Structure 1
Amino acid sequence: MGVKRVWSTTAVVALTGALLLTSAPTASADYIRDRQWVIDVIDFKKVWSASQGQGVTVAVVDTGVDDSHPDLTGQVLKGKDFTGSDEGGRNDPVGHGTGMASIIAGHGHGTNNSAGVMGLAPKSKILPIVGGTKDEFENQDWAAGVRYAVDQGASVINLSFSDPTAVPGSEGAKAIAYAQQHDAVVVSGTGNDGSVDLEYPAKLPGVVAVSAIDESLNIWENSNSGKGVTLAAPGGNIVRANPSKSSGYSEGSGVSDATAYVSASAALVRAKYPDLTAGQVINRLIKSATMLDQDVKKTPDDEYGYGIIRPYAALTMEIPKGPKQGPLAQASPSTSTNSGAASGDSDSTSQAAKKKKKSSSGSVLLIAGIAGAVVVIGILVVVLRSRRNGGSGGPGSGGGTPPHGAGYPSQPPAGQQQHPNTASNQGYPTYPGQSPQHPNPYAQQPPHQGQ
């Protein structure tokens, strides 16, 4: 059965349109670069001083990747098409997969690579996997692609699509579990419907579920929200390579683009810290994220998850490795469907973890009551000590202070709990169109709630 994919936007605007080009038949390469607002907000050059993703393979399970695009030459490995073609995944008549690849590993072109699309991890390699077409993404096709990517050595897997059939127990869910068992970071978008529910496969356990922010650094209006959001990343008005357009580029908005930025961030971390497990890479991304001055009461938040990505902070903060499995719930035969629920081995602030602790404590006290009052007191002491110790720092806590620069704000000193409600931008640049004080994103319900 064909499934609906999560497109980067509900109406992709080609850069050959009237809005961006009114007097030339092809797009200006310099103009393409100038339109990439994310470069300045994240401060790519500063990030690259710490890592450029070298030695890391990112699998883009999508519509293929055009390896002849000038911004991706030399970046695209031979992959595989699981929809019937035999071109090694290096053909993309739709353009979507090429766009995601350019956000991750684009290197631009021209003198000093000053033109075209620049990706966040330009020295990573792209493994193109064709798992679907413009209108259909079959579960068994992209699932086979995920397994193939893992076997080919991809350590980050980008899934910028949705598949409502990818429920626990499906071929897709099993393939993702296989990827996680083989130490791959799996990233997927929450959905573009503006609804309060996550799409599959982002909803599966252990998947980094990504929501999108716009140029004002607020949640993009059509980004799905709900329990399970892990991180937020730029997804509004994103310029990317697109071989299906005469200019070679297009601009759009959506969680697909945000997913690609998180995959690129994971590649950066994997390149600098090759000894970290996939779970520990996710831990660094979560611990270094920021809420800016959003009125968020607790994390994970239903819109921002643990916060907006800060790649440079993820690379430079002093963050304990933490458990090998990382802070997200792991897939199991009887797994739940919430990707953002933290595992019991970390000091997550999630309510699920707290309820689990309370439940287990209650069982211990019941048994102790039968044994006698002295045992009850002993058990209480153990439980209280366990709660006070809490582990080595979970999502939302700071682990050090990165050098402060033009990108994102610095974290609190080591040992100090990160508070999501910050009073100012903390050094995060005020982008054009962004007010110094962000409006409260919770003043209204998310758009199209319940649809």
Structure 2
Amino acid sequence: MTGALLLTSASTASADYVRDGQWPLTVYDAEKVWETSRGADVTVAVVDSGVDASHVDLTGQVLPGKDFTGSDNPQQDNAGHGTGMASLIAGHGHGANGAAGVMGLAPESKILPVRVDTSENNVDTAALTAGIRYAVDQGASVINLSIGDSSAYPGSKAAEAIAYAQDHDVVVVAATGNDAGTVSYPAALPGVVAVSAVDQSLGFWGKSNTGNVTVAAPGVQTPQADPTSPSGYVKADGTSGSAAYVSAIVALLRSEYPNLSAGQTINRLIKAASFLENKGKKAPDSQLGYGIARPGSALTMDIPAGPKEGPLAKASTSTNSGAASDGDDSKTQAKKKSKSSSGGILVIAGIAAVVVVIAILFAVIRSRRNRGNRGGGPGSGGGTPGYPVGYPQQPPTGQQPYPYPPDAGQSQGYPTPPGQPPRHGQ
């Protein structure tokens, strides 16, 4: 499919200045996409600053959720960020026919708010860990992490929680970061769908972090709900919004293809992605990954399901669940391995001893024969000492954590809506 087809305009123009600004819906030809799927029966966990369930564009979409900040109110959002992500995923707009406000790309999905402390621009690790596990146990099939957390490095408790989600057939989507650096954790963890941003021309947004990117999505000047703004809305730049849009696409896929595993769902997402007008790119590209995510194509293309584990590498599952039984199993495995190794060493030692005895006997016999055969010349010289075929390679250096603020992109608040907002064509 060409970029021109992807950029099909919506058939009608709205009369709402917020909705008119939602260029991603136009790019994705959302009305056409919704003929196939609207995300019904899918729960998307938004692990963030909370979600304001009373926002006019989210009423009825937000589940009770849980607060890990100690305030015991997951539906409170003092930062506005979590509400914004929820609106891009499951917003239903408001007014006549829902034509005003923010419409999410998966408007029939449900949002599970998981509130964590983002006030210091560095997510509380314990809350993040507990929140992810909570989301899994509550039945979320998609987890959106539009956050930056420097402590979610491989081997950390937060990384184990993400692996726990993956082990339970959950698709984890995360923002790559907004400081033009290297893909940040948790997006850099194995198996996580790492999302960078593109602008209105579908060109790469220069502040997106790069490296191990999975796909890209709209993330520049995206209107979203924000209860902290006087108008209730902001326009924002950042990979946070890009990740939210990809989480919405995953929700559409999981609704339409409920029998596909998380890995197979990711496979559809990747196989349907395209570089479009970004010429000269080869997958996986450090900026766009496998391309710009395309919901319509992902929903309708003839794509073989593929293996259940999907195309992305996963972390080892041997110690991911964190359950006591798993720890016992690990110890048992270690003991078995130790016994097996010891047994192997004993067998090898026995064989070596036999070989030594035979060699000594052979040398004695040969010596006697040489002494008895005086006409014989000296024996041939010894062989050259052997060298290993290859040298062990230095293990690859792990990517270092690179923290970034949960909402590092610029946000521009909308003015309070005028009485008669101007009508803009699409």
The verdict on a shared fold, with TM-score over 0.5 as the criterion, is yes
Q: Does 1:92 align with 2:77?
A: yes
Contact 2:275 2:281 in 1 (8 A): no
What corresponds to 2:310 in structure 1?
A: 326
What corresponds to 1:163 in structure 2?
A: 149
Contact 2:118 2:124 in 1 (8 A): no
Question: What is the rounded CA distance, in whole Å, between the counterparts of 1:296 and 1:72 in structure 2?
Answer: 41
Deviant stretches of 4+, over 3 Å: none
Deviation (angstroms), 1:328: 0.1
Question: What is the rounded CA distance, in whole Å, between the counterparts of 1:146 and 1:300 in structure 2?
Answer: 28
Question: What is the rounded CA distance, in whole Å, between the counterparts of 2:256 and 2:195 in structure 1?
Answer: 22
Q: Does 1:213 align with 2:204?
A: no
Match of 1:242 among 226, 239, 260: 226
Q: Secondary structure at the match of 1:279?
A: helix
Q: How does 1:111-126 map to 2 (within 5 A)?
A: 111-126=96-111
CA 1:63/1:29 → structure 2, altered by over 3 Å: closer, same or farther?
farther
Match of 2:235 among 251, 267, 291: 251
Q: Deviations over 1:309-340 (max 9, x none)?
A: 110110001100000000000111699xxxxx
Contact 1:214 1:235 in 2 (8 A): yes
Unmatched tracts of structure 2, length 5 or more: 1-13, 320-424
* Matched length: 306
Question: What is the rounded CA distance, in whole Å, between the counterparts of 1:66 and 1:297 in structure 2?
Answer: 40
Question: What is the rounded CA distance, in whole Å, between the counterparts of 1:193 and 1:229 in structure 2?
Answer: 15
Q: Deviations over 1:211-270 (max 9, x none)?
A: 0001111011100111x1000000000100000011000111000000000000000000
Q: Percent identity of the aligned residues?
A: 62
CA 1:94/1:148 → structure 2, altered by over 3 Å: closer, same or farther?
same
Match of 2:62 among 60, 76, 88: 76
Contact 2:57 2:87 in 1 (8 A): yes
TM-score norm. by structure 2 comes to 0.70
Match of 2:94 among 105, 109, 117: 109
Deviation (angstroms), 1:85: 1.3
Question: What is the rounded CA distance, in whole Å, between the counterparts of 1:316 and 1:158 in structure 2?
Answer: 24
Question: What is the rounded CA distance, in whole Å, between the counterparts of 2:223 and 2:112 in structure 1?
Answer: 21
Q: Does 1:173 align with 2:159?
A: yes
Contact 2:44 2:112 in 1 (8 A): yes
Question: What is the rounded CA distance, in whole Å, between the counterparts of 1:296 and 1:261 in structure 2?
Answer: 25
Superposition RMSD on alpha carbons, in Å?
1.6
Report which of the two has the higher share of helix. 2
Match of 1:54 among 40, 46, 56: 40
What corresponds to 1:4 in structure 2?
A: none
In structure 2, what residue type is equivalent to 1:159?
L
Deviation (angstroms), 1:131: 1.7
In structure 2, what residue type is equivalent to 1:113?
G
Q: Does 1:42 align with 2:28?
A: yes
**Which structure carries more relative contact order (alpha carbon 8 Å, separation 6+)?**
2
Larger radius of gyration: 2
Contact 1:194 1:225 in 2 (8 A): yes
Question: What is the rounded CA distance, in whole Å, between the counterparts of 2:272 and 2:281 in structure 1?
Answer: 18
Q: Deviations over 1:270-305 (max 9, x none)?
A: 000000000000000000001113233421100010
Contact 1:29 1:116 in 2 (8 A): no
Q: Does 1:316 align with 2:311?
A: no
Q: Secondary structure at the match of 2:16?
A: helix
Contact 2:163 2:317 in 1 (8 A): no
What corresponds to 2:19 in structure 1?
A: 33
Unmatched tracts of structure 1, length 5 or more: 1-27, 336-431, 433-451
Q: Does 1:233 align with 2:233?
A: no
